[in-house]
Amino acid sequence: MNSETKPRWRIASAVTLGVLYGLALRIGFGWAPEHRIFEIISVAFLVGCPFSVGAVAVAIGAAEDRVSIGRQIQISIISISVFLVATYVTFLEGLICLVLAAPLFLVAAILGGLTAGYLHNLRYQSRSTLSVFAILPILIAPIEASIPHEPTEHSVTTSIQIDSPPEKVFRTLATVRDIREEELGFTFVHLIGLPKPLEAEMSCNGVGCTRTSRWEKDVWFQEVITEWKPSEAIRYRFIIPKGGIPREALDQHVEIGGAYFQLIDGGYEVFSTSGGGTNLSLTTSFRNKSLMNRYGAFWGRLVLNDFHRSILRLLKNRAEHDA
């Protein structure tokens, strides 16, 4: 084996072992969610796992006297990237979860790799050091689970200007049939796998009536009207019926009404503007029950804002066309 082949072989071996270690963690954390100790949506896994994957890979791959910072980052990025792809092809995670977790995973893996590389260059690395990196997520999990945790509620509001009077805009809100893909336009959330809406239909008009929304992949849920003010506002609370969201439609970690995220209520508000136009706003409130409140809330807001924009664009086009 020549001098150029050795480093490549060493990096390949380090990446392989780092990925296998990460997959073992993912399977282990995924087996016992009911214990509320080893949870996927937690600092222990979403930070601890990639940190340790990067650290373990660099510790194994750094056989020379000193390992450069560039090599540390290279091994870390390759390892966590292969790990993410591996979880997708083995059906451990879906595309939505991978996209949401990828930024955090990359940063944590690089930090882990730099930490391992620093200790290696100081001659502090040993088998015991490698063992600490390997069990770090398992040590963090019970500590994190023991900290009192309360769900948090968040609200997202998005608005759009429509060149149509409020009464005509209001008429487009309740029942929306035959939604075409081109009407929604490009959205990040649909690109990564969120089902697209197909139609929404009211059982009647007024408080107590039910609005049924149907999406792709056999997803459906209901919105019970709690406020009905013609040409002004519609507000509702969400009801997710059993079987309304098939398991294959959404990743279990981002499932609406699942273990981590729950839709609460929402609504439209219609305001007249100068020149006879309308300002239409859409609001959705959700409950974040995950251990990582801030990260979950950040992505929840981003996803809902993106989805709101596609719905408001659809309503704008229909209201202006009808006008």
At 113-141, the pLDDT tens digits run 999 999 888 876 666 788 899 999 999 99
Residues 149-158 have a mean pLDDT of: 92
Strand partners, 199: 214
Q: 173: Cβ–Cβ under 8 A, 6 or more apart, which residues?
A: 234, 268, 270, 315
Q: 318: Cβ–Cβ under 8 A, 6 or more apart, which residues?
A: 172, 176, 183
Q: Would strands 261-272 and 197-202 be described as parallel, antiparallel, or unpaired?
A: unpaired
Q: Residues 136, 138, 140, 146: what is their CA dihedral angle, to the nearest 10 degrees?
A: -170
Residues 281-307 have a mean pLDDT of: 89
Query: DSSP letters along 125-182, please?
Result: --HHHHHHHHHHHHHHHHHHHHS----EEEEEEEEEEESS-HHHHHHTTS-B-S--HH
Residue carrying structure tokens 């390759």:
78
Residue 181 has a pLDDT of 87
Banded model confidence at residue 323, pLDDT cuts 50, 70, 90: very low
Query: Given a cut of 90, is residue 2 above it in pLDDT?
Result: no
Structure token digits, residue 257:
């009404």
Strand partners, 211: 202, 223
| Class level of CATH domain 152-322 | alpha beta
Query: Given a cut of 60, is residue 287 above it in pLDDT?
Result: yes
Contact 217, 234 (CB under 8 A): no
Residue carrying structure tokens 């949870």:
39
Cα gap 27→35, rounded to integer Å: 15
**Burial class for 247, CB neighbours closer than 10 Å (0-12, 13-18, 19+):** exposed
Residue 265 DSSP code = E
More confident residue, 188 or 258: 188
Q: Show me where the domains of the chain are located.
A: 5-146, 152-322
Cα gap 216→220, rounded to integer Å: 9
Percent of the chain at pLDDT > 70 equals 92
Cα atoms found within 13 Å of the Cα of residue 112, Cβ hemisphere only = 35
Q: Which amino acid is at 153?
A: E
The percent of the chain in helix, strand and coil, each rounded to the nearest 5, is 50, 20, 30
- In what helix (H) or strand (E) does residue 190 lie, and over which residues does it extend? helix 188-191
Residue 1 has a pLDDT of 47
Burial letters 31-57, b for 16+ CB under 10 A, else e: eeeeeebbbbbbbbbbbbbbbbbbbbb
Query: Given a cut of 70, is residue 6 above it in pLDDT?
Result: no
Question: pTM of the prediction?
Answer: 0.82
Strand partners, 285: 155, 265
Integer Rg of the chain from CA: 24
Q: Which amino acid is at 185?
A: G
